Structure 1
Amino acid sequence: MSFLDRQHTIAPAGYSRWLIPPAALAIHLCIGQVYATSVYKNSLVAHFDASLTAIGVIFSIAIVMLGVSAAILGTWVEKVGPRKAMFTSACFWAAGFLVGALGISTTQLWLVYIGYGFLGGIGLGIGYISPVSTLIKWFPDRPGLATGMAIMGFGGGALVASPVSRQLMALYDPTYDPADSGAIASGSAVAMLFVTLGVVYFLVMMLGVFNVRTPAPGWKPDHWDPRTVKPKSLVTTANVSAANATKTPQFWLLWIVLFCNVTAGIGILEQASPMIQDFFREGGTSLVVGSTAAGFVALLSLFNMAGRFVWSSTSDYTGRKPIYMIYLGVGIVLYLLLSTVGASSTLLFVVLAAIILSFYGGGFATIPAYLRDLFGTYQVGAIHGRLLTAWSAAGIAGPLIINGFLDARGTPGELVAADYRPALFTMVGVLAVGFIANLLVRPVSERFHEPTRPEPEPEKQEVAK
């Protein structure tokens, strides 16, 4: 297994840096399946004879473990390198599906919690951060583009997993209708789905493991000299360790920024299908059919994925702080419009929700580049891992806020647009807090910087294009 060691991942002469994004996508497209859990959520409710909350805990555990494992193991990921980290992620992610399948087959919900939630969540956390710092090192000239390319795959994971999962459940259960978003598949069909996904995802992630490389010491892109780059107030040439980064106010301000952005976005993401049906309900009947609602969810997934690449790449030109002012400031306006006039037109509702979800995805993809600007590249992966605890907290807070308001307003399937307004107005306040936190971000004090070390000379080799 020595091929997993860091020293065996150093790129040879002439290795193209454009081979690294596909390796990152191989990981993120697989672990992005976590956003497709709603496909079989109702089937698990019926199989275990449990509540939506009890089944929803599976997703919550996975997201909490994502943040916890990324925070605890972030320094280890930096130490061992991307290949060993990505391999470990693949093992945990696949094992989570297989243990979860055992729990479904034996009707033991706690095994699904341990499998998909705990083990799978560890795979999520390691897999999420392992390609990011590597890409930043390969693209020092375009860090926003680099992180956007990697994290775009996470947003697109559900776009692929949702229709594939429906077709697989139809294959394993002939009575299941993949075109009906409310259809219920048998427990055995969901168990077989888990086994299939576990095996297939492991094999796909191995493609990323075998192809990932790290740049040689002192490597720089062709025709790029950092000394010619115009200095920016929030972009440092120094480095800050992960331990010191958590002592800075900048880290905690960005924690709040990410928490607020994710909390607001995940509320819509988790309620997307029933939300559009409830917004256009008249006389007790929704004007939006299940198939249209499923298409709406797919569209939001597309905007979530595209926003990760487009907005993050744009931040290379606008700067990270200004782009978050757009995410949070324009997001406030969009949420106000959604709550007040969103029910007046289906097209307006879809446009508003789609842009909000693009900001949600963009916030995820831009945060590693923001960290790189403030703290340098030294341990940016570990710092990113610790910051992802904000995602864990938001993964709990977002659904709790919107579900708490909706539970107090009435019965699912009978709600209307007005019932969503208290939750949406709350999200406006959450975004306002994040907007203020972003305004307060300043350069990191020099007392947190690592001692300056002589920069290694580039090896005499053909520069990767």
Structure 2
Amino acid sequence: MARMDVSTKRWIILILICCINLCAGSIYAWSVLSAAAAQELTVITGHLISAADLAIAFGVANSVGPIPMILGGAFNDRYGPRLVIITGGLLIGLGLCFCGWATSVTQIVIGYGLLFGLGLGLAYGAGISTAIKYFPDKRGFAGGLVTAVYGFSSVIVPPIAQVLTQHYGIMNTFVILGTVFALVIMFCGYFCERCPEDFNPLKKHGDEKTCIAVTGLTWRQMLSSPIFWPMIALLMCGAVSAMMILSQAASIAQNEIGMNATSAAAAVSTIAFFNMAGRLVAGTLSDKLGRIGVLMFGLIFAALGLIVLMNSGQGDYVLFYCGCILIGISFGTFMSIYPGFTADRFGAKHAGVNYGIMFSGFSVAGLMGPIIMQQMIANGMDFAACCQVGITFCVLGFVFALVYKSMIEHKKVQ
């Protein structure tokens, strides 16, 4: 693609990144894989092992994300995404294959939690930052599309994994998925090139001023900028309320609404679908209406969703599904907008590292949300009280959004 015009090449690279994220988003198939893996390990070890015993692997895979995103982002910002994505694909494949050869919980944690998690951070982080660099004029759209495809993986990979497990067994399924994902990610990554630093797709239209500059602040300058702190706090607050529900949606559906396992699974799929749709729609809208305004609507959607959920009782299927839809849209809004939002505010030149640091706000939320819910339930509080705490985070997020707007209006951006 070396001789191709950059304005044309960027669309091909965007498609390649979508293919990469479709494989990387397979982390959402863990609930299917872990249940079967627990059964297999029970047979291998002779000791009862449950899916809950393997939950630490999923937690580690999510929590290590910012580390490879930041380290890989530094390499990506300087040399381009090719080697970073290829390395990420290799680690994802090795991690899944290692799980296929595992004979203990510890080996699953090493394979899935560490190897897969590190590979995911490299491939996902490099892909996102590359997309927004190639689309300085449509950062919301580009970020929304690639994160929507990442979310779409949660719709198509679990049933595929289920079919493979039924025909070939869970351990062979790990190896099959690992091999396929590694080949696809590494192949697509090979053709992902670094975006030229002076690329501006609007120059030829005489509209250069409307395109955000590709230069920007280093991570040290970003951290010293007062505007960074309300931004990362806003991300954390927006994600905490969603992660409280997303982490336990199936059990909430069964315990609070009285759904059977099939209906509860459908509720989880509903959240996944509107999470995906919210990413694409919100990202595109943010290009036209502004990032912070759409994010504030995301907080409103989350608060309304929690209010609906806390007023849903036994048999209130419709209300519960409505609440799930609102939560899914809100979560998708934050995940799609923040890559472009970060580049808008701090520039695209160091977007790989900067977004990796910003993403740590989500990692904190991913840890806090489930813990808050579990601890409140363990201490005898009801589901409505949990929702009220989630709403409090939404309100707090709204405050940080207003602080951000005030700082921008007074030009306190550095």
Global fold match (TM > 0.5) = yes
- The answer to whether the aligner puts 1:358 opposite 2:319 as a matched pair is no
Task: State the match for 2:373 in structure 1.
Answer: 402
Task: State the match for 1:427 in structure 2.
Answer: 390
Task: State the match for 2:111 in structure 1.
Answer: 115
Aligned pair partner of 2:294 in 299, 319, 323: 323
Q: Measure, in 2, the Cα distance between the counterparts of 1:127 and 1:408.
A: 40
Partner letter of residue 39 of structure 1?
Answer: V
2:376 counterpart SS class: helix
Q: Equivalent residues in 2 for 1:31-46 (5 A)?
A: 31-46=24-39
Task: State the match for 2:200 in structure 1.
Answer: 220
Q: Measure, in 2, the Cα distance between the counterparts of 1:226 and 1:85.
A: 33
* Structure 1 position 289, deviation (Å): 2.8
CA RMSD of aligned residues (A): 2.5
* Structure 1 position 53, deviation (Å): 4.5
Task: Label 1:445 to 1:373 Cα distance change in 2 as closer, same or farther (>3 A).
Answer: farther
- The answer to whether the aligner puts 1:147 opposite 2:110 as a matched pair is no
* Structure 1 position 334, deviation (Å): 2.2
CA contact (8 A) 2:35 2:50 kept: no
CA contact (8 A) 1:97 1:198 kept: yes
Task: State the match for 1:368 in structure 2.
Answer: 339
Partner letter of residue 359 of structure 2?
Answer: L
Q: Measure, in 1, the Cα distance between the counterparts of 2:216 and 2:395.
A: 31
Partner letter of residue 62 of structure 1?
Answer: A
Task: State the match for 1:265 in structure 2.
Answer: 242
Task: State the match for 1:5 in structure 2.
Answer: none
Q: What is the TM-score normalised by the length of structure 1? A: 0.80
* Structure 1 position 121, deviation (Å): 0.9
Task: State the match for 2:210 in structure 1.
Answer: 229
Q: Equivalent residues in 2 for 1:246-325 (5 A)?
A: 246-281=223-258, 288-325=259-296
Partner letter of residue 334 of structure 1?
Answer: G
- Larger Rg belongs to: 1
- The answer to whether the aligner puts 1:125 opposite 2:88 as a matched pair is no
The total of aligned residue pairs comes to: 404
CA contact (8 A) 1:63 1:391 kept: no
C-alpha offsets along residues 363-406 of structure 1, whole Å, 9 cap, x if unaligned?
Answer: 01100111112111111121001111122222221111222233
CA contact (8 A) 1:250 1:444 kept: no
Identity of aligned residues (%): 25
Q: Equivalent residues in 2 for 1:12-161 (5 A)?
A: 12-13=4-5, 15-46=8-39, 47-48=41-42, 49-50=48-49, 53-103=52-102, 106=103, 108-161=104-157
What are structure 2's unaligned runs of at least 5 residues?
Answer: 43-47
Partner letter of residue 357 of structure 1?
Answer: G
* Structure 1 position 54, deviation (Å): 3.1
CA contact (8 A) 2:90 2:186 kept: no
Task: Label 1:447 to 1:268 Cα distance change in 2 as closer, same or farther (>3 A).
Answer: closer
CA contact (8 A) 2:234 2:397 kept: yes
C-alpha offsets along residues 423-465 of structure 1, whole Å, 9 cap, x if unaligned?
Answer: 222211222222211221134999987xxxxxxxxxxxxxxxx
CA contact (8 A) 1:265 1:356 kept: yes
CA contact (8 A) 1:101 1:194 kept: yes
Partner letter of residue 32 of structure 1?
Answer: G
CA contact (8 A) 1:87 1:206 kept: yes
Query: Which structure's residues are more often helix, by fraction?
Result: 2
What are structure 1's unaligned runs of at least 5 residues?
Answer: 1-8, 173-188, 282-287, 410-417, 450-465
Task: State the match for 1:210 in structure 2.
Answer: 190
Q: What is the TM-score normalised by the length of structure 2? A: 0.90
Worse overlay, 351-360 or 291-300: 291-300
Partner letter of residue 397 of structure 2?
Answer: G
CA contact (8 A) 1:328 1:431 kept: yes
Q: Measure, in 1, the Cα distance between the counterparts of 2:2 and 2:343.
A: 21
1:246 counterpart SS class: helix
* Structure 1 position 137, deviation (Å): 2.2
1:377 counterpart SS class: coil
Task: Label 1:237 to 1:92 Cα distance change in 2 as closer, same or farther (>3 A).
Answer: closer
C-alpha offsets along residues 141-198 of structure 1, whole Å, 9 cap, x if unaligned?
Answer: 11100111111121111111111111111112xxxxxxxxxxxxxxxx2222211110
Q: Measure, in 1, the Cα distance between the counterparts of 2:249 and 2:222.
A: 36
